[in-house]
Structure 1
Amino acid sequence: MPSLTRIANTDLSVDVSSLGAEVQSITTTDGKAWLWNGDAAFWTGRSPVLFPIVGKAPDDTVMIDGTPYAMAQHGFARRREFALESTTATACRYRLEASDDTRAVYPFDFGLTVEHSLDGRTLTVASTVENRGDTPMPFGFGYHPAFLWPLPGGAGQPHTVTLDNAGEPKRQPLEKGLLSTSRTPSPFDKGRIVLTQDQFLDDAMVFPEGAGDGLTYAAEGGPALKFHFENLPNLALWTKPGAPFLCIEPWHGTAAEFGGSRELRDRPFTTVLLPEESRRFAFSVTFPG
């Protein structure tokens, strides 16, 4: 059975599950809960870690050097039990390593460490992927945290996402869960978008390039969450229409392209690690005081 680790300081309390090293709750000391609760009526996820793919593969199958492997959407890490490596009052580190089970669907010797840490009102989630084998290792990586919509104290107010770089990145639509080869005009105006449920009738809004490394998710005149991304150039926003959450998803890697190559290494923004190489991916979110 999964176990929970709680980290806390005078501003925040965060629970992390050993299953997927996934955050289960984020609460400020005023008692406000900010993370989606995983209600199965809409979506059981809360803040899954995506590895070794982001998004879907054609027929839920990836090709690795010409050999097909079954691979469900967003990969297998979110369904695997992680080992707790270390914990302090304000930080915990979980680790997943390759096993016979994972090699059956992803034939590489990898290490994946996920560390959650608190500094004041900021939560940082930092992950390191290692290639512990002797062949180049392709993969995608991403985060999928779901925050309440409306935010606590923001009921009845328009909610916005504002990019730090004031960019207007083009959207790349999804076709049957795969990336279209076309791009559509940006829904951002000088870096700002006012969120509506209708924007998600055709699945997630995916912005492969140009969203920058930071944004603010806010209720107008109310609370605001400030995000910073490290080595995560792709951004997606997603909810199920009618659901009371918004996923803010920074990625390094996307779904396969519709009609494109099925090879894992050919997916957009795939990382390929040489033997003994590692790569770090992190995001932080600061909660209102």
Structure 2
Amino acid sequence: MITLQNDQLKVVINELGAQLHSIQRVDNQIEYLWQGDPASWDRQAPILFPFVGRLKDDQYQFNGQTYHQTQHGFARDRKFAVLDQSATYVLLEQHDDDETRKAFPFAYSLRVKYELTGNQLAVTYSVTNPDAEQSLIYAIGAHPGFNMPLSANGRFDQVQLSVSPAETYSRVVLDGPYNDSAHPLTIDMHQPLTIDHDLFKNDAVIFETGGADFTATLTDPASQHGVHVHTHGTQHVGVWSPYPTKANFACVEPWWGIADNVAADGQLLHKQGMHRLAPRGTDDYHFSIQPF
């Protein structure tokens, strides 16, 4: 485990998947990050790469070959190496090998930077295509889970979700695990939304953010503690908690990608929400977590 600390935050990171393991404020020592439970969700903050969401039949076709890949990709289950580290910063890397090529026939480097800046944890994902000829086709996303409520006398069904800008958003509907973006709903977020478990009976609530800066905030009104997740350049931000299993956490998920469309034909070149990174190119993705 890797520990970062400044005068306001203490954060622990697991090299397996470069997954966040703990987020605490120094002044109150509240654990903001979900600690995992096999009865509901045994992960904490997986990195989603090279796919976000589920593929139809857990497979896709590329260059005449069929490849099998489970939901959210494989990066979350592979170790990252530490490239650089200080008291408040760490840079980790994972890259392709013979095993990844069985599920994803591309060369890649995925670097993850965590850095404490005041009362925020800044996160940067950097994807590099080392191939000199072939474009890298991928999606990436984050899936941090936050304890909700954050007080002994709070209740999950009192937790409030608010967003900034506070406006009406297009909401992508899920049909099972697949997106039905051709038939969106709207969700009015001019005022905070009090969440409950039934909100997630059809899986995640997915905001179409269109690349604009977007902040999602979870607040426990019993304690007035909560967390802001500031996103930059995402097309979608998902909010999720398990259903029908009930657990006291909610995830705020910046996505640069999305699950297969209900009309997907299985061809990687046609898949919705994928990025195409030119040979020798690098793209960066940013978000930050601000507990309060």
Q: Which bracket does the TM-score occupy, shorter chain normalised? A: over 0.9
Give the Cα–Cα distance (whole angstroms) in 2 for the partners of residues 197 and 245 of structure 1: 10
Which residue of the partner structure matches residue 250 of structure 1? Answer: 254
Change (3 A) 1:211 1:246: farther
Which residue of the partner structure matches residue 240 of structure 1? Answer: 242
Unaligned runs of 5+ in 2: none
Kept in 2, the 8 Å contact 1:235–1:248? The answer is: yes
Report the Cα offset of residue 160 of structure 1. Answer: 2.0
The reply to whether residue 21 of structure 1 matches residue 23 of structure 2 is no
Give the Cα–Cα distance (whole angstroms) in 2 for the partners of residues 265 and 71 of structure 1: 16
Report the Cα offset of residue 210 of structure 1. Answer: 4.8
The one-letter amino acid paired with 1:128 is S
Kept in 2, the 8 Å contact 1:137–1:273? The answer is: yes
Which residue of the partner structure matches residue 84 of structure 1? Answer: 82
Change (3 A) 1:115 1:152: farther
Q: Matched residue of 1:104: which SS?
A: helix
Report the Cα offset of residue 259 of structure 1. Answer: 2.7
Which residue of the partner structure matches residue 147 of structure 2? Answer: 148
Change (3 A) 1:177 1:159: same
Which residue of the partner structure matches residue 99 of structure 1? Answer: 97
Change (3 A) 1:214 1:208: closer
Unaligned runs of 5+ in 1: none
Give the percent of matched residue pairs that are identical in Structure 1 and Structure 2.
Answer: 28
Aligned residues: 285
| TM-score for the superposition, normalised by structure 2 | 0.92
Deviates more, 1:169-178 or 1:126-135: 169-178
| TM-score for the superposition, normalised by structure 1 | 0.93
Change (3 A) 1:146 1:154: farther
Give the Cα–Cα distance (whole angstroms) in 1 for the partners of residues 19 and 35 of structure 2: 12
Please tell me the root mean square deviation across aligned C-alpha atoms, in Å.
1.8
Which residue of the partner structure matches residue 268 of structure 1? Answer: 272
Give the Cα–Cα distance (whole angstroms) in 1 for the partners of residues 231 and 149 of structure 2: 23
Change (3 A) 1:33 1:15: same
Which residue of the partner structure matches residue 47 of structure 1? Answer: 45
Give the Cα–Cα distance (whole angstroms) in 1 for the partners of residues 29 and 181 of structure 2: 45
Deviates more, 1:43-52 or 1:255-264: 255-264
Change (3 A) 1:195 1:154: farther
